[in-house]
Amino acid sequence: MCGIICYSGSKKAIPILINGLKKLEYRGYDSAGLSVIEDKTPITIKSEGKVSNLEAKTSNITTNASYGIAHTRWATHGRPSEINAHPQLDNKNKICVVHNGIIENYKDLKYELINKGYIFISDTDTEVIAHLIDMYFTDDLEIAVLKTVERLSGTFGLAVIHADIDHKIIIVKRGSPIVIGVGDNEFFAASDPIAISDYTNKIIVLNDDEMAVLNSKEYFIKNLRNEVLKKNIKIVDKDSYSNDKKGFESFMLKEIFEQPISIKNAFRGRIIESEGVSKLGGLEPVLERLKSIKKLIIVSCGTSFYSGKLGRYIFESLTELDVEVEIASEFRYRKFTLDKDVAVLALSQSGETADTIAALKEAKRKGALLLGMVNEVGTTITQLTDAGVYNHAGSEIGVASTKIYTSQLVLLTLMGLLIGRYHGLSFIEGKSIIDGIKKLPEQIKEILSNAKNIQKVSKKYAHFRDFLYIGRLYNYPTAMEAALKLKEISYIHAEGYPAGEMKHGPISLIDENFPTVAIAPDDEVMDKMLSNIEQIKARNGKILSVTNSSAKKVIEISDDIFIVPKTIPVLQPILNIIPLQLFAYYIAKEKGRNIDKPRNLAKSVTVE
């Protein structure tokens, strides 16, 4: 959703800001804007739609301005328009503000400011910030911003410049991520390190209620009492923050093909073969408490919810924990009690999903141990939780999650292994899981080498309007995730169902125009899956199966098949989803969809 990039240095600011905005495009947005200051005069340019529209407008502007702030907006208050795009300015056109997040008390503040004579131009919540800063400003911008922040409730990552204060940018964070980029006599701020990855790999992650003050020579990190803080600079791996397609036609395809690497990165250095156990450094601070928990509640949204659903099967198989999985936006409104024996685990690629954050806050209030599994380093969920693990999968730019899903499944298995070995899981069982995990990258490569054939089969199915995906046990969540992939990028209706439920309703949908994708590996429920497939065939339903070469009966009965290597049941879903990610991809491609940025969707969903 919204994105921020700021620059203060000696180079021309506009190209740097535009480049940063382009890198933030993947997050989803509907308008963009920037303000730079030259000779105490702000130049503000905004446009609806793509950053390229904004870029086109800036091409007529000649300025050497070397500091400024920029924003991509995803409308929350007021429709997408130039007026509502950020930066928002005060009435004197001196103070420029960009803001990610939501100001919950903006209406009250707006009335107060209107009564004091301020004129509002936009429908945004952000505009109140610009007027409040003006109201509090005498000669010290930091003080004015601090007084303003005291009045705000809600979430914000915000950046402020003032026409009369040379090169100074003030940034404050509460709830919306902000990193500061440190260069040589130039400083950056961004809502996502990717925006500044072309300029520096030295970043400082701001925590909630911290403020950064940048100019072209130096920077300070302060708390909201205006006291200077000492914070470490992190060196980030530029490659993992790059948004280069590396020769692939889209980010989603690149990310699907990166899975052998992202999976290796998920388990690298995290297994102790000689003990048949895993080692997750991020959980070590809470290991003693973790050993004694009785119940695990997994909260997440979208694809992360489906990996959570699979997580339940994984934990039930490897540990003695009682496991619940709940969609974060539902969990936060339920009436429940939690105690010290309960851990709540949030799964999130972005670490910024508003519903998941709200669920964690609710769980914290009730005293549970909070754990996180996040890909994006330093984001809100990593700061909110007591401990957690990183995916280390590199940036995922395609809106449809692929490599993070499989990475989450590997990490859930490693977590299950860690806890399970304190419960009844034997060394031999632990060892066989480790052996299975180590083989995954090569097995995925084998599936990917068959992409051409998967594309050929996919083309045959691209004209259908509806799909059913079915599976049992581990492959029920796989069916749901595979259906989500198809619907989000191809806009075809698809539903994931537990195969055993077919006869209780959905089978009435089946005819020759309603194909079913059956995830039917050679496992303990294969015979049951075969019966379900027979029932669909008997009603003229077309069947595309994902299965193993040893599952002869499934192969015989299916109209089309994707063969995947066989592994232990707990890991099989990681292989089963790969051809179905490609199936969704190639159908969407056949239909000419905007695969990396499907309509109406954003990569990071920061509103509830």
Measured distance CA(403)–CA(360) in Å, rounded: 24
Question: Of 176 and 567, which CB lies nearer to ligand M6R in the complex structure?
Answer: 176
For residue 608, the minimal CB distance to ligand M6R (Å) is: 12
**Residue the block writes with tokens 């990475």:** 407
Question: Of 8 and 348, which CB lies nearer to ligand M6R in the complex structure?
Answer: 348
Point out which residues pair with 212 in neighbouring strands. Answer: 171, 221
Question: Of 114 and 601, which CB lies nearer to ligand M6R in the complex structure?
Answer: 601
Contacts (Cβ under 8 Å, ≥6 apart) of 432: 568
For residue 401, the minimal CB distance to ligand M6R (Å) is: 4
Helix (H, G, I), strand (E, B) or coil at 95: strand
Contacts (Cβ under 8 Å, ≥6 apart) of 252: 398, 400, 402, 489, 585, 595, 596
Show contacts of 60-66: CB within 8 Å, 24+ apart: 61/14, 63/12, 63/14, 63/36, 63/38, 64/12, 64/38, 65/12, 65/13, 65/14, 65/36, 65/37, 65/38, 66/7, 66/8, 66/9, 66/10, 66/11, 66/12, 66/13, 66/36, 66/167, 66/216
Contacts (Cβ under 8 Å, ≥6 apart) of 94: 42, 134, 162, 163, 164
For residue 487, the minimal CB distance to ligand M6R (Å) is: 10
The single-letter DSSP state of residue 503 is G
Measured distance CA(55)–CA(16) in Å, rounded: 11
Measured distance CA(172)–CA(224) in Å, rounded: 9
Residue 161 is which amino acid? I
Considering the candidates 22, 168, 173, 603, report the single residue annotated as catalytic. Answer: 603
For residue 50, the minimal CB distance to ligand M6R (Å) is: 20
Considering the candidates 2, 6, 96, 301, report the single residue annotated as catalytic. Answer: 2
The answer to whether residues 182 and 204 touch, using CB atoms and an 8 Å cutoff, is yes
Question: Of 399 and 418, which CB lies nearer to ligand M6R in the complex structure?
Answer: 399
For residue 177, the minimal CB distance to ligand M6R (Å) is: 12
Q: How many helices (H) and strands (E) does the chain have?
A: 19, 27
Both tokens of residue 582?
């490609």
Question: Of 266 and 551, which CB lies nearer to ligand M6R in the complex structure?
Answer: 266
For residue 62, the minimal CB distance to ligand M6R (Å) is: 41
Question: Of 119 and 601, which CB lies nearer to ligand M6R in the complex structure?
Answer: 601
For residue 399, the minimal CB distance to ligand M6R (Å) is: 5
For residue 374, the minimal CB distance to ligand M6R (Å) is: 8
603 is catalytic: yes
Interface residue list for ligand M6R (CB under 6 A) = 301-304, 348-350, 353, 356, 399-401, 488, 601, 604-605
Measured distance CA(128)–CA(108) in Å, rounded: 10
Q: In what order do the strands lie in the sheet with 179-182?
A: 41-48, 31-38, 67-73, 3-8, 187-190, 179-182, 202-205, 234-235
Q: Which residue is nearest to ligand M6R (CB)?
A: 302
Question: Of 475 and 606, which CB lies nearer to ligand M6R in the complex structure?
Answer: 606
Both tokens of residue 2?
């919204």
Helix (H, G, I), strand (E, B) or coil at 8: strand
230 is catalytic: no
Question: Of 31 and 356, which CB lies nearer to ligand M6R in the complex structure?
Answer: 356
Measured distance CA(597)–CA(604) in Å, rounded: 12
Residue 23 is which amino acid? K
Q: Which residues are catalytic?
A: 2, 603
